[in-house]
Amino acid sequence: MLKIKNLHAGIEGKKILNGINLEIKAGEVHAIMGPNGSGKSTLASVLAGRENFEVTGGSVELFDKDLLATSPEDRARAGMFLAFQYPVEIPGVSTTNFIKTAVNECRKYRGQEPLDAVAFLKMMKEKMKLVHIDQSLLSRSLNEGFSGGEKKRNEIFQMAMLEPKLAILDETDSGLDIDALRIVANGVNSYRNGENAFLVVTHYQRLLDYIVPDFVHVLYNGRIVKSGTKDLALELEEKGYDFIKNEVELTLNV
């Protein structure tokens, strides 16, 4: 599904990603962990197509197509979704109106008829239940005045509405209390169906108790320095990132 090969990227001349290699297949859940400044959010941003990041080398393919040459909207239409670490507040645009436009633009791209009002509302009601989100919240301006938890639930709601094949969750657990974390994780889990894949970017192992990954990768200095199963996350939680850093530096010194 997603193939990242030797990806180098940076911002304003500063190198942040120094050769990422990662392959994600349908049905898999990958977690990316790493200390602050290791490049986790940069990776998510580059994959989603944020313009101020500059790709200096390597390639990314989504369904065997060059992802990096594709506009952010076409990436979304092709089935990729980014849940933002900091969802943007957009005054005057209601979530309902916005998500309807988004769903129908994606459908159009895939050669499907736009949803009529009835079908759209039915779908919305279904997905709202998934993340315990209220109709009144969706009638309000997008994310404006939403609490941290409401914003993240809204991200997962949007994901469920757009039905992506690959969802990237960028620190979706940040700013969430335990209950909200559980709701968000349940939303993600019920969306898992063996055909779609997830890339979960997080600082903490806690989220991975709820969204259980198939693979865990540790990012450090813009590279994946260690990969393993969910046990790796537990080991990190126990020992901290220092053990990885030491290991890496030892390797470099050899």
Tell me how many degrees the CA angle 46-89-170 measures, rounded to the nearest 5. 35
Minimal distance in Å, beta carbon 65 to another protein? Answer: 16
Q: Is 249 in the site for another protein (CB under 8 A)?
A: no
Identify the residue among 55, 68, 102, 248 touching another protein (CB under 8 A): 102
Tell me if 20 sits within 8 A of 4, measured CB to CB.
yes
- For position 88 contacting another protein by CB under 8 A, the verdict is yes
Q: Does 141 bind another protein (CB under 8 A)?
A: yes
Paired tokens of 78: 């092709």
CB of 102 to another protein, least distance (A): 4
| Residue closer to another protein, measured from CB, 88 or 250 | 88
Contact between 127 and another protein per CB under 8 A: no
CA distance 221 to 95: 37
Which residues 103-122 are close enough to bind another protein by CB under 8 A? 103, 105-106, 109
- Is there a contact between 165 and 197 (Cβ–Cβ < 8 Å)? yes
> Closest CB to another protein among 21 and 97?
97
- State the Cα–Cα distance between residues 237 and 239, nearest whole angstrom: 6
177: helix, strand or coil: coil
Apex CA 174: angle with CA 171 and CA 180, to 5°? 110
Quote the least distance from Cβ 30 to another protein, whole Å: 19
Residue 44, amino acid: A
Instruction: State the nearest-atom distance from the C-beta of 237 to another protein, in Å.
Output: 31
Binding range to another protein, per CB under 8 A, among 25-33, 93-101, 179-187, 238-246 = 93-101
Which residues, 200 to 239, sit near another protein by CB under 8 A?
none
Q: Are the beta carbons of 217 and 224 closer than 8 angstroms?
A: yes
Binding segment for another protein among 69-77, 145-153, 186-194, 198-206 (CB under 8 A)?
69-77
Q: Quick one: 203 exposed, middle or buried, by C-beta within 10 A (0-12, 13-18, 19+)?
A: middle
d(CA 41, CA 33): 10
Q: Is residue 11 at the binding interface for another protein, with CB under 8 A as the rule? A: no
Using rule CB under 8 A, residue 24 touches another protein: no
Q: Are 166 and 199 in contact (CB under 8 A)?
A: yes
Q: Shortest approach of another protein to residue 49 CB, angstroms?
A: 7
- The distance of closest approach from Cβ of residue 100 to another protein in the complex, given in angstroms and rounded to an integer, is 10
If DSSP codes are grouped into helix, strand and coil, which group holds residue 2?
strand
Least CB distance from residue 110 to another protein, whole Å? 10
User: Is the separation of the CB atoms in 31 and 167 below 8 Å?
Assistant: no
**Chain positions contacting another protein, by CB under 8 A:** 48-51, 71-73, 75-77, 81-82, 84, 87-93, 97-99, 101-103, 105-106, 109, 141, 158, 162
